Structure 1
């Protein structure tokens, strides 16, 4: 016997207020008795503290318990028999949250994840293990008005502009300039801009663009904040021509990014790092906090 969940929408992308429609497919080689077929739709925010935070923040350790956003249970089929062949049973769920909680974007992070899943269970009596099937679908949260009134963000990186440098004399002389198109970014559009190496006393090995997630978990007693890399894109290799504008183009990956989110128990924020690697592996880094949103169409 096999059990399968199929959604009518091939993209598996839904928005709050819509209806999730699909079918359960049960295939058997002979008539099979069962004690019930059940389907559950669940939306949960899971949080965990990093190893460096556990112990330091024991006071609010319980505050990182999962947050249930939506939970709907259905008995799709009462106890009985499935005939030989394929049986198709349709279902539908309205996407309405519990207690008017917002339905956040689907997101797979390191310390925070927001997942919406269908769980099917076919029970076959005490002596047989139930047949289980899970299917995750993607939630795109509420949209906001498009932010078009944004000037480009110019930047200039020199040894004097770097932070946390103990001895500036140990840093080779250089000047890097450029622009980022915007700081408040449409998550469905790529981040664009330019980088220009005006001069550098030492040869350059690589120019890279790094996307970072900043996840914060906690409550009033304290917060644990951790930054981790999502992706690193090399946009130039070798000792690039001085004065050449290097284009920046980075697509925000689905599930590993979401709209910037801030609640009482957790925050999901994003940053971009421009990283220049010199031939001696000396790193020059400039950080840019960005905000992601999903515009209304």
Structure 2
């Protein structure tokens, strides 16, 4: 197996490895800063090369779900990758690198192309925002070229205004449920609670509490479900898809009536980002409170969230 650091071997006794090391351990940068580090070359023997280059690229990759493909012709143009930043530099001119360990320093300005904006790093299902460094070492004719890719993260600048708490009270009964065909067949229940805020700092947990006041049927499980809602498209139409990010069980079994159950969910890094709305795509988030009854009735209450970086 190839170890975590990419290692490349050429024919014969020569063994060469190429790596990219960023100065910041957390690999997090903001627009306007400089991405710096070293290229690390380990070679058993002196290494002839045709030049070492480094490129920095930021892309938004959009993908349509299978249900959306073919619905709108215009989608095929709108889902082309959107380039946010692109830079290239020659780090070392053609020559020879001595045997042993060689460190080559580099520095790149992180600046968007033209009037583009650097969106925050985000790994989704239909929307993917990624920033990468790629190092290429060109080798003589019979030797294999070497390359190494390293992802780094971009965070948007924190908003300066203080986040105002906006607690949301909720009460769930058979009458408040939507999309119910036979409401009369539902058992009687009453669930109350609150979320401390639906405008949330992406670095802080979602908190609140839930109380099961009464239920004719025993409870099987109570869960928190974090959902991303990704929208891709253009003026002719949009494809909107909701997918689950994580599911946390906050209670199991037939919980005591009147007992306060804490709601606590940390937003996972990479899979969440500040709520984003652009011309071609949107990334939004929701949380579902899911109560599963012993007779397998599923009760779901949905709350849209606005995530920000403060």
Q: TM-score range by the shorter chain?
A: over 0.9
The alignment covers a number of residue pairs equal to 295
Shift of 1:51: 0.7
CA displacement 1:118-157 (0-9 Å, x = unmatched)? 0011111333331110110111012213444333100001
In 2, Cα distance between the equivalents of 1:76 and 1:235?
52
CA displacement 1:159-214 (0-9 Å, x = unmatched)? 11011111101211111110001111011100000011111110000000000000
Secondary structure of the structure 2 residue equivalent to 1:62: helix
Q: Return closer, same or farther for 1:147/1:276 CA change in 2, 3 Å cut-off.
A: farther
Shift of 1:260: 0.2
Name 2:128's counterpart in structure 1. 113
Name 2:109's counterpart in structure 1. 94
2:264 aligned with 1:249, yes or no? yes
2:49 aligned with 1:41, yes or no? no
101, 112, 123: which one aligns with 2:138? 123
Secondary structure of the structure 2 residue equivalent to 1:100: coil
Per mean C-alpha deviation after superposition, the further-off stretch among 190-199 and 120-129 is 120-129
2:151 aligned with 1:136, yes or no? yes
Give unmatched runs, 5+ long, in structure 2: 1-15
Name 1:226's counterpart in structure 2. 241
Shift of 1:86: 1.0
Secondary structure of the structure 1 residue equivalent to 2:74: helix
Name 1:24's counterpart in structure 2. 39
Name 1:152's counterpart in structure 2. 167
Name 1:12's counterpart in structure 2. 27
Please, what TM-score do these two structures have when normalized by structure 1? 0.97
CA displacement 1:62-86 (0-9 Å, x = unmatched)? 1110001101101111111111111
CA contact (8 A) 2:229 2:284 kept: yes
Please, what TM-score do these two structures have when normalized by structure 2? 0.93
Name 2:304's counterpart in structure 1. 289
Name 1:262's counterpart in structure 2. 277
In 1, Cα distance between the equivalents of 2:55 and 2:236?
34
In 2, Cα distance between the equivalents of 1:241 and 1:126?
74
Name 2:290's counterpart in structure 1. 275
In 2, Cα distance between the equivalents of 1:146 and 1:108?
27
In 2, Cα distance between the equivalents of 1:35 and 1:133?
16
Shift of 1:57: 2.3
In 2, Cα distance between the equivalents of 1:20 and 1:256?
23
Q: Which runs of 4+ in 1 moved over 4 A?
A: none
103, 115, 122: which one aligns with 2:118? 103
Secondary structure of the structure 2 residue equivalent to 1:240: coil
147, 150, 163: which one aligns with 2:178? 163
What is the CA RMSD across the aligned residues, in angstroms? 1.0
203, 214, 218: which one aligns with 1:188? 203
In 2, Cα distance between the equivalents of 1:87 and 1:150?
52
Aligned ranges 1:49-60 → 2 under 5 Å: 49-60=64-75
In 2, Cα distance between the equivalents of 1:151 and 1:104?
26
